[in-house]
Structure 1
Protein backbone atom coordinates (compact mmCIF):
# COMPACT_ATOMS: atom_id res chain seq x y z
CA UNK A 1 0.00 0.00 0.00
CA UNK A 2 1.26 3.54 -0.73
CA UNK A 3 2.58 5.44 2.27
CA UNK A 4 0.38 8.10 3.90
CA UNK A 5 2.89 10.76 2.82
CA UNK A 6 2.66 9.57 -0.78
CA UNK A 7 -1.15 9.66 -0.64
CA UNK A 8 -1.04 13.18 0.79
CA UNK A 9 1.24 14.34 -2.02
CA UNK A 10 -1.12 12.84 -4.58
CA UNK A 11 -4.03 14.77 -3.07
CA UNK A 12 -2.03 18.00 -3.13
CA UNK A 13 -1.16 17.42 -6.78
CA UNK A 14 -4.79 16.82 -7.68
CA UNK A 15 -5.86 20.02 -5.94
CA UNK A 16 -3.14 21.89 -7.83
CA UNK A 17 -4.29 20.47 -11.16
CA UNK A 18 -7.88 21.49 -10.44
CA UNK A 19 -6.66 25.03 -9.83
CA UNK A 20 -4.77 24.97 -13.15
CA UNK A 21 -7.88 23.76 -14.98
CA UNK A 22 -9.98 26.54 -13.43
CA UNK A 23 -7.36 29.13 -14.38
CA UNK A 24 -7.21 27.93 -17.98
CA UNK A 25 -11.01 27.87 -18.32
CA UNK A 26 -11.19 31.51 -17.25
CA UNK A 27 -8.63 32.62 -19.83
CA UNK A 28 -9.86 33.92 -23.13
CA UNK A 29 -8.21 32.57 -26.31
CA UNK A 30 -6.39 35.80 -27.09
CA UNK A 31 -6.00 37.14 -23.58
CA UNK A 32 -2.65 38.71 -22.87
CA UNK A 33 -0.37 36.21 -21.20
CA UNK A 34 1.23 37.87 -18.21
CA UNK A 35 4.44 37.01 -16.37
CA UNK A 36 4.12 34.59 -13.46
CA UNK A 37 7.74 34.71 -12.33
CA UNK A 38 11.31 34.34 -13.50
CA UNK A 39 11.97 30.80 -14.68
CA UNK A 40 14.92 29.17 -12.93
CA UNK A 41 17.92 28.68 -15.19
CA UNK A 42 19.51 25.25 -15.40
CA UNK A 43 22.25 23.32 -17.10
CA UNK A 44 21.48 19.70 -17.99
CA UNK A 45 22.81 17.12 -20.43
CA UNK A 46 21.23 16.24 -23.76
CA UNK A 47 21.22 12.88 -25.56
CA UNK A 48 24.64 13.59 -27.06
CA UNK A 49 26.19 14.28 -23.67
CA UNK A 50 26.39 18.02 -24.30
CA UNK A 51 25.35 20.61 -21.73
CA UNK A 52 22.21 22.61 -22.50
CA UNK A 53 20.94 25.50 -20.39
CA UNK A 54 17.73 27.47 -20.42
CA UNK A 55 19.86 30.47 -21.34
CA UNK A 56 20.92 28.64 -24.53
CA UNK A 57 17.37 29.17 -25.82
CA UNK A 58 17.32 32.89 -25.04
CA UNK A 59 15.18 34.75 -27.54
CA UNK A 60 12.95 31.75 -28.16
CA UNK A 61 9.61 30.88 -26.59
CA UNK A 62 9.63 27.30 -25.32
CA UNK A 63 7.60 24.67 -23.55
CA UNK A 64 9.32 22.95 -20.62
CA UNK A 65 8.00 19.51 -19.62
CA UNK A 66 9.07 17.36 -16.65
CA UNK A 67 8.46 13.62 -17.11
CA UNK A 68 9.92 10.11 -16.84
CA UNK A 69 10.02 7.64 -19.72
CA UNK A 70 8.74 4.59 -17.79
CA UNK A 71 5.60 6.49 -16.79
CA UNK A 72 2.66 4.08 -17.18
CA UNK A 73 0.03 6.68 -17.95
CA UNK A 74 0.28 10.42 -18.66
CA UNK A 75 3.82 10.98 -19.94
CA UNK A 76 3.63 9.08 -23.26
CA UNK A 77 0.41 10.75 -24.49
CA UNK A 78 1.67 14.12 -23.24
CA UNK A 79 4.89 13.67 -25.20
CA UNK A 80 2.77 12.78 -28.24
CA UNK A 81 0.94 16.08 -27.72
CA UNK A 82 4.31 17.84 -27.72
CA UNK A 83 5.10 16.15 -31.04
CA UNK A 84 1.87 17.55 -32.49
CA UNK A 85 2.77 21.02 -31.21
CA UNK A 86 6.21 20.61 -32.79
CA UNK A 87 4.62 19.74 -36.14
CA UNK A 88 2.29 22.75 -36.05
CA UNK A 89 5.25 25.01 -35.28
CA UNK A 90 7.23 23.46 -38.14
CA UNK A 91 4.31 23.97 -40.53
CA UNK A 92 4.23 27.64 -39.50
CA UNK A 93 7.99 27.99 -39.99
CA UNK A 94 8.57 28.89 -36.34
CA UNK A 95 10.20 25.78 -34.89
CA UNK A 96 13.88 26.18 -34.06
CA UNK A 97 14.17 29.78 -35.21
CA UNK A 98 11.60 31.20 -32.78
CA UNK A 99 10.48 28.33 -30.56
CA UNK A 100 11.79 25.20 -28.83
CA UNK A 101 10.70 22.27 -26.65
CA UNK A 102 12.54 21.01 -23.56
CA UNK A 103 11.63 17.61 -22.04
CA UNK A 104 13.40 16.97 -18.72
CA UNK A 105 13.42 13.59 -16.98
CA UNK A 106 13.49 13.49 -13.19
CA UNK A 107 14.36 9.75 -13.19
CA UNK A 108 17.93 9.66 -14.53
CA UNK A 109 18.64 6.24 -12.99
CA UNK A 110 16.26 4.52 -15.40
CA UNK A 111 16.38 7.20 -18.07
CA UNK A 112 19.89 6.57 -19.32
CA UNK A 113 20.80 8.41 -22.53
CA UNK A 114 20.11 5.21 -24.48
CA UNK A 115 16.71 4.65 -22.87
CA UNK A 116 15.80 8.32 -23.26
CA UNK A 117 16.66 8.29 -26.97
CA UNK A 118 14.64 5.13 -27.48
CA UNK A 119 11.67 6.84 -25.86
CA UNK A 120 12.16 10.13 -27.72
CA UNK A 121 12.50 8.50 -31.14
CA UNK A 122 8.92 7.22 -30.91
CA UNK A 123 7.69 10.79 -31.33
CA UNK A 124 9.75 11.86 -34.36
CA UNK A 125 11.43 14.79 -32.62
CA UNK A 126 13.43 17.40 -34.47
CA UNK A 127 16.44 17.31 -32.16
CA UNK A 128 17.64 20.68 -33.44
CA UNK A 129 15.10 22.36 -31.12
CA UNK A 130 13.46 19.59 -29.10
CA UNK A 131 15.84 18.84 -26.25
CA UNK A 132 15.56 15.69 -24.13
CA UNK A 133 17.54 16.44 -20.99
CA UNK A 134 18.70 14.71 -17.84
CA UNK A 135 20.65 15.56 -14.69
CA UNK A 136 21.11 14.44 -11.11
CA UNK A 137 17.83 13.23 -9.62
CA UNK A 138 17.65 15.42 -6.51
CA UNK A 139 18.68 18.56 -8.37
CA UNK A 140 16.17 17.91 -11.16
CA UNK A 141 13.32 17.40 -8.70
CA UNK A 142 14.28 20.66 -7.00
CA UNK A 143 14.35 22.36 -10.40
CA UNK A 144 10.86 21.06 -11.17
CA UNK A 145 9.59 22.42 -7.87
CA UNK A 146 11.10 25.83 -8.63
CA UNK A 147 9.06 25.79 -11.83
CA UNK A 148 5.97 24.97 -9.79
CA UNK A 149 5.86 21.28 -10.71
CA UNK A 150 5.51 18.89 -7.77
CA UNK A 151 7.34 15.54 -8.02
CA UNK A 152 7.18 12.78 -5.42
CA UNK A 153 8.71 9.30 -5.32
CA UNK A 154 6.94 6.59 -3.34
CA UNK A 155 9.40 5.69 -0.55
CA UNK A 156 8.09 2.11 -0.62
CA UNK A 157 8.83 1.59 -4.27
CA UNK A 158 9.98 3.24 -7.47
CA UNK A 159 6.70 4.76 -8.61
CA UNK A 160 6.34 8.51 -9.07
CA UNK A 161 3.57 11.05 -9.05
CA UNK A 162 3.95 14.51 -10.52
CA UNK A 163 2.17 17.55 -11.84
CA UNK A 164 1.72 16.97 -15.55
CA UNK A 165 2.16 20.42 -17.06
CA UNK A 166 3.63 22.18 -20.06
CA UNK A 167 5.31 25.40 -18.90
CA UNK A 168 5.53 28.30 -21.33
CA UNK A 169 8.76 30.28 -20.94
CA UNK A 170 9.47 33.34 -23.07
CA UNK A 171 12.68 34.45 -24.72
CA UNK A 172 13.62 36.56 -21.70
CA UNK A 173 13.39 33.57 -19.38
CA UNK A 174 10.08 34.51 -17.77
CA UNK A 175 7.53 31.83 -16.93
CA UNK A 176 4.29 32.96 -18.57
CA UNK A 177 1.64 30.26 -18.13
CA UNK A 178 0.88 26.55 -17.71
CA UNK A 179 -1.08 24.07 -19.81
CA UNK A 180 -2.48 20.75 -18.61
CA UNK A 181 -0.32 18.29 -20.54
CA UNK A 182 -2.80 15.42 -20.45
CA UNK A 183 -5.90 17.44 -21.29
CA UNK A 184 -7.51 15.56 -24.18
CA UNK A 185 -9.15 18.81 -25.28
CA UNK A 186 -5.93 20.83 -25.33
CA UNK A 187 -5.88 22.89 -28.52
CA UNK A 188 -2.39 22.29 -29.94
CA UNK A 189 -2.95 24.97 -32.57
CA UNK A 190 -3.66 27.53 -29.85
CA UNK A 191 -0.62 26.47 -27.83
CA UNK A 192 1.57 26.78 -30.93
CA UNK A 193 0.10 30.21 -31.65
CA UNK A 194 0.75 31.26 -28.04
CA UNK A 195 4.40 30.27 -28.47
CA UNK A 196 4.68 32.21 -31.72
CA UNK A 197 2.93 35.24 -30.23
CA UNK A 198 5.20 35.24 -27.18
CA UNK A 199 8.29 34.81 -29.39
CA UNK A 200 7.49 38.08 -31.16
CA UNK A 201 7.46 40.14 -27.98
CA UNK A 202 10.36 42.49 -27.47
Structure 2
Protein backbone atom coordinates (compact mmCIF):
# COMPACT_ATOMS: atom_id res chain seq x y z
CA UNK A 1 0.00 0.00 0.00
CA UNK A 2 1.37 3.43 -0.94
CA UNK A 3 2.25 5.86 1.83
CA UNK A 4 -0.56 8.26 0.85
CA UNK A 5 -3.13 5.51 0.82
CA UNK A 6 -1.76 4.11 4.08
CA UNK A 7 -2.06 7.52 5.71
CA UNK A 8 -5.64 7.94 4.55
CA UNK A 9 -6.46 4.43 5.77
CA UNK A 10 -5.03 5.13 9.21
CA UNK A 11 -6.91 8.44 9.37
CA UNK A 12 -10.12 6.69 8.37
CA UNK A 13 -9.59 3.96 10.96
CA UNK A 14 -8.85 6.51 13.69
CA UNK A 15 -11.92 8.56 12.76
CA UNK A 16 -14.09 5.46 12.72
CA UNK A 17 -12.79 4.48 16.16
CA UNK A 18 -13.60 7.93 17.55
CA UNK A 19 -17.12 7.78 16.10
CA UNK A 20 -17.72 4.29 17.50
CA UNK A 21 -16.46 5.31 20.94
CA UNK A 22 -18.76 8.32 20.83
CA UNK A 23 -21.76 6.20 19.85
CA UNK A 24 -21.02 3.63 22.54
CA UNK A 25 -20.59 6.37 25.13
CA UNK A 26 -23.87 8.01 24.14
CA UNK A 27 -25.72 4.70 24.20
CA UNK A 28 -24.27 3.88 27.63
CA UNK A 29 -25.26 7.30 28.98
CA UNK A 30 -28.84 6.86 27.73
CA UNK A 31 -29.00 3.34 29.20
CA UNK A 32 -27.72 4.50 32.56
CA UNK A 33 -30.12 7.46 32.61
CA UNK A 34 -33.11 5.22 31.94
CA UNK A 35 -31.88 2.64 34.42
CA UNK A 36 -31.48 5.18 37.19
CA UNK A 37 -34.94 6.57 36.50
CA UNK A 38 -36.41 3.08 36.80
CA UNK A 39 -34.49 2.00 39.87
CA UNK A 40 -35.52 3.06 43.39
CA UNK A 41 -33.42 5.77 44.98
CA UNK A 42 -31.77 4.71 48.17
CA UNK A 43 -28.54 5.06 50.10
CA UNK A 44 -26.75 2.43 52.14
CA UNK A 45 -25.45 2.76 55.64
CA UNK A 46 -22.33 0.91 56.69
CA UNK A 47 -24.57 -1.96 57.75
CA UNK A 48 -26.08 -2.09 54.28
CA UNK A 49 -29.58 -1.09 55.35
CA UNK A 50 -31.67 0.56 52.66
CA UNK A 51 -32.58 4.12 53.52
CA UNK A 52 -34.98 6.53 51.91
CA UNK A 53 -38.32 5.94 50.27
CA UNK A 54 -38.05 4.31 46.88
CA UNK A 55 -40.16 2.37 44.40
CA UNK A 56 -39.36 -1.33 44.73
CA UNK A 57 -42.16 -2.75 42.63
CA UNK A 58 -45.88 -3.41 42.75
CA UNK A 59 -47.28 -5.94 45.19
CA UNK A 60 -49.04 -8.57 43.04
CA UNK A 61 -52.68 -9.36 43.55
CA UNK A 62 -53.29 -12.00 46.20
CA UNK A 63 -56.10 -13.56 48.18
CA UNK A 64 -55.37 -15.08 51.59
CA UNK A 65 -57.40 -15.96 54.68
CA UNK A 66 -57.44 -13.57 57.61
CA UNK A 67 -57.58 -14.86 61.21
CA UNK A 68 -61.26 -13.88 61.26
CA UNK A 69 -61.89 -16.42 58.50
CA UNK A 70 -62.64 -13.89 55.79
CA UNK A 71 -60.68 -13.56 52.57
CA UNK A 72 -58.34 -10.58 52.36
CA UNK A 73 -56.45 -9.41 49.30
CA UNK A 74 -54.65 -6.50 47.77
CA UNK A 75 -57.92 -4.78 46.86
CA UNK A 76 -58.87 -4.64 50.56
CA UNK A 77 -55.69 -2.67 51.27
CA UNK A 78 -55.97 -0.21 48.40
CA UNK A 79 -56.01 3.35 49.67
CA UNK A 80 -54.19 2.35 52.86
CA UNK A 81 -50.57 2.63 53.83
CA UNK A 82 -49.55 -0.76 55.22
CA UNK A 83 -46.63 -2.56 56.81
CA UNK A 84 -46.11 -6.25 56.05
CA UNK A 85 -43.95 -8.95 57.58
CA UNK A 86 -43.61 -12.75 57.46
CA UNK A 87 -43.75 -14.94 60.57
CA UNK A 88 -44.96 -18.30 61.86
CA UNK A 89 -46.41 -18.95 65.27
CA UNK A 90 -44.08 -21.83 66.25
CA UNK A 91 -41.01 -19.72 65.48
CA UNK A 92 -38.67 -19.17 68.42
CA UNK A 93 -36.13 -17.08 66.53
CA UNK A 94 -37.04 -13.67 65.08
CA UNK A 95 -40.83 -13.98 65.02
CA UNK A 96 -41.58 -13.12 68.67
CA UNK A 97 -39.41 -10.02 68.39
CA UNK A 98 -41.00 -9.08 65.06
CA UNK A 99 -44.47 -9.37 66.55
CA UNK A 100 -43.44 -7.41 69.63
CA UNK A 101 -42.10 -4.67 67.36
CA UNK A 102 -45.33 -4.72 65.36
CA UNK A 103 -47.22 -4.29 68.63
CA UNK A 104 -45.03 -1.27 69.38
CA UNK A 105 -45.83 0.13 65.94
CA UNK A 106 -49.54 -0.40 66.59
CA UNK A 107 -49.16 1.65 69.76
CA UNK A 108 -46.98 4.32 68.14
CA UNK A 109 -49.44 4.65 65.27
CA UNK A 110 -52.47 4.86 67.52
CA UNK A 111 -54.83 7.76 67.02
CA UNK A 112 -54.40 8.85 70.63
CA UNK A 113 -50.62 9.14 70.41
CA UNK A 114 -50.24 10.49 66.87
CA UNK A 115 -53.37 11.95 65.23
CA UNK A 116 -51.53 12.56 61.96
CA UNK A 117 -50.79 8.84 61.71
CA UNK A 118 -54.33 7.73 62.37
CA UNK A 119 -54.00 3.95 62.24
CA UNK A 120 -57.75 3.41 62.31
CA UNK A 121 -58.21 5.46 59.16
CA UNK A 122 -55.17 5.07 56.95
CA UNK A 123 -52.60 2.53 58.19
CA UNK A 124 -52.74 -1.26 58.47
CA UNK A 125 -50.36 -3.92 59.75
CA UNK A 126 -50.22 -7.25 57.91
CA UNK A 127 -48.46 -10.36 59.27
CA UNK A 128 -48.34 -13.33 56.89
CA UNK A 129 -47.59 -16.89 58.04
CA UNK A 130 -45.01 -18.95 56.15
CA UNK A 131 -46.35 -22.08 57.91
CA UNK A 132 -49.97 -22.11 56.75
CA UNK A 133 -50.43 -25.83 57.40
CA UNK A 134 -50.16 -25.28 61.17
CA UNK A 135 -51.13 -21.62 61.30
CA UNK A 136 -54.86 -21.89 60.82
CA UNK A 137 -57.08 -18.84 61.41
CA UNK A 138 -57.79 -20.19 64.91
CA UNK A 139 -54.08 -20.55 65.73
CA UNK A 140 -53.35 -17.09 64.35
CA UNK A 141 -56.17 -15.64 66.44
CA UNK A 142 -54.65 -17.00 69.64
CA UNK A 143 -51.21 -15.78 68.60
CA UNK A 144 -52.56 -12.31 67.80
CA UNK A 145 -54.17 -12.02 71.23
CA UNK A 146 -50.77 -12.43 72.88
CA UNK A 147 -49.66 -9.20 71.23
CA UNK A 148 -52.86 -7.24 71.71
CA UNK A 149 -53.44 -7.07 67.96
CA UNK A 150 -56.46 -4.95 67.05
CA UNK A 151 -58.45 -7.13 64.58
CA UNK A 152 -59.58 -4.07 62.63
CA UNK A 153 -56.04 -2.73 62.18
CA UNK A 154 -53.59 -5.62 62.37
CA UNK A 155 -54.31 -8.55 60.06
CA UNK A 156 -52.85 -12.07 60.30
CA UNK A 157 -52.98 -14.05 57.06
CA UNK A 158 -52.72 -17.71 56.12
CA UNK A 159 -53.69 -19.67 53.02
CA UNK A 160 -52.18 -21.86 50.32
CA UNK A 161 -48.45 -22.35 50.88
CA UNK A 162 -47.64 -21.91 47.19
CA UNK A 163 -49.50 -18.59 47.06
CA UNK A 164 -47.77 -17.33 50.21
CA UNK A 165 -44.30 -18.24 49.00
CA UNK A 166 -44.98 -16.72 45.61
CA UNK A 167 -46.07 -13.53 47.36
CA UNK A 168 -43.03 -13.47 49.66
CA UNK A 169 -40.40 -14.30 47.05
CA UNK A 170 -41.85 -12.93 43.84
CA UNK A 171 -43.94 -10.09 45.24
CA UNK A 172 -42.02 -8.74 48.21
CA UNK A 173 -38.60 -10.05 47.08
CA UNK A 174 -37.96 -11.61 50.50
CA UNK A 175 -36.59 -14.99 51.50
CA UNK A 176 -39.03 -17.69 52.58
CA UNK A 177 -37.79 -21.29 52.57
CA UNK A 178 -38.96 -24.43 54.34
CA UNK A 179 -36.08 -26.32 55.94
CA UNK A 180 -36.16 -30.10 55.34
CA UNK A 181 -36.20 -32.06 58.60
CA UNK A 182 -32.82 -33.65 57.88
CA UNK A 183 -31.25 -30.19 57.52
CA UNK A 184 -32.70 -28.57 60.63
CA UNK A 185 -30.19 -27.47 63.25
CA UNK A 186 -30.36 -27.49 67.05
CA UNK A 187 -32.59 -24.40 67.06
CA UNK A 188 -35.36 -26.45 65.49
CA UNK A 189 -36.18 -23.74 62.97
CA UNK A 190 -38.42 -25.23 60.30
CA UNK A 191 -38.51 -22.13 58.10
CA UNK A 192 -35.98 -19.55 57.03
CA UNK A 193 -37.60 -16.22 56.25
CA UNK A 194 -36.79 -12.54 56.19
CA UNK A 195 -37.26 -10.49 59.35
CA UNK A 196 -37.66 -7.22 57.46
CA UNK A 197 -40.74 -5.04 57.62
CA UNK A 198 -42.01 -3.85 54.25
CA UNK A 199 -43.72 -0.50 53.75
CA UNK A 200 -46.40 -0.35 51.05
CA UNK A 201 -48.17 2.79 49.84
CA UNK A 202 -51.82 3.44 49.03
CA UNK A 203 -51.37 2.18 45.45
CA UNK A 204 -49.79 -1.11 46.49
CA UNK A 205 -46.25 -0.02 45.64
CA UNK A 206 -43.40 -1.26 47.84
CA UNK A 207 -41.67 1.85 49.16
CA UNK A 208 -39.19 0.63 51.78
CA UNK A 209 -37.56 -2.22 53.72
CA UNK A 210 -36.66 -2.01 57.41
CA UNK A 211 -34.82 -4.31 59.82
CA UNK A 212 -37.30 -5.24 62.52
CA UNK A 213 -34.46 -5.61 65.04
CA UNK A 214 -33.09 -2.10 64.46
CA UNK A 215 -34.68 0.62 66.59
CA UNK A 216 -33.38 3.39 64.34
CA UNK A 217 -34.83 1.64 61.29
CA UNK A 218 -38.23 1.53 62.98
CA UNK A 219 -38.05 5.23 63.82
CA UNK A 220 -37.29 5.83 60.15
CA UNK A 221 -40.24 3.61 59.25
CA UNK A 222 -42.57 5.85 61.27
CA UNK A 223 -41.18 8.93 59.53
CA UNK A 224 -41.69 7.29 56.15
CA UNK A 225 -45.26 6.32 57.04
CA UNK A 226 -45.94 9.97 57.81
CA UNK A 227 -44.49 10.96 54.44
CA UNK A 228 -46.64 8.45 52.55
CA UNK A 229 -49.78 9.57 54.36
CA UNK A 230 -49.13 13.08 53.09
CA UNK A 231 -48.56 11.97 49.49
CA UNK A 232 -51.32 12.72 47.03
CA UNK A 233 -53.18 9.64 45.85
Shorter-chain TM band: 0.7 to 0.9
Contact 1:83/1:123 (CA < 8 Å) preserved in 2?
A: yes
Structure 1: runs of 5+ lacking an equivalent: 1-17
The Cα of 1:21 is off from its aligned counterpart by 4.3
Contact 2:210/2:217 (CA < 8 Å) preserved in 1?
A: no
The Cα of 1:145 is off from its aligned counterpart by 0.2
The Cα of 1:156 is off from its aligned counterpart by 2.5
Match of 1:174 in 2: 205
Which residue of 61, 68, 78 maps to 2:88? 68
Structure with the larger helix share: 2
Which residue of 117, 120, 137 maps to 2:144? 120
Aligned residues: 178
The Cα of 1:41 is off from its aligned counterpart by 2.1
Q: For the residues of structure 2 that align with 1:164 and 1:109, how far apart are their CA atoms?
A: 20
CA RMSD of aligned residues (A): 2.0
Q: For the residues of structure 2 that align with 1:141 and 1:19, how far apart are their CA atoms?
A: 29
Match of 2:179 in 1: 154
Q: For the residues of structure 1 that align with 2:151 and 2:142, how far apart are their CA atoms?
A: 13
The Cα of 1:49 is off from its aligned counterpart by 0.9
TM-score, with structure 2 as normaliser: 0.71
Q: Between Structure 1 and Structure 2, whose CA radius of gyration is higher?
A: 2
Match of 2:124 in 1: 100
Which residue of 108, 130, 140 maps to 1:88? 108
TM-score, with structure 1 as normaliser: 0.81
SS in structure 1 at match of 2:140: helix
Q: Which has the higher contact order (CA 8 A, sep 6+)?
A: 1
Contact 2:130/2:191 (CA < 8 Å) preserved in 1?
A: no
Q: For the residues of structure 1 that align with 2:46 and 2:221, how far apart are their CA atoms?
A: 15
Contact 2:49/2:211 (CA < 8 Å) preserved in 1?
A: no
Which structure 1 residue ranges, 4+ long, deviate > 6 Å from structure 2?
A: none
The Cα of 1:153 is off from its aligned counterpart by 1.1
CA 1:21–1:42 in 2, change beyond 3 Å: closer, same or farther? farther
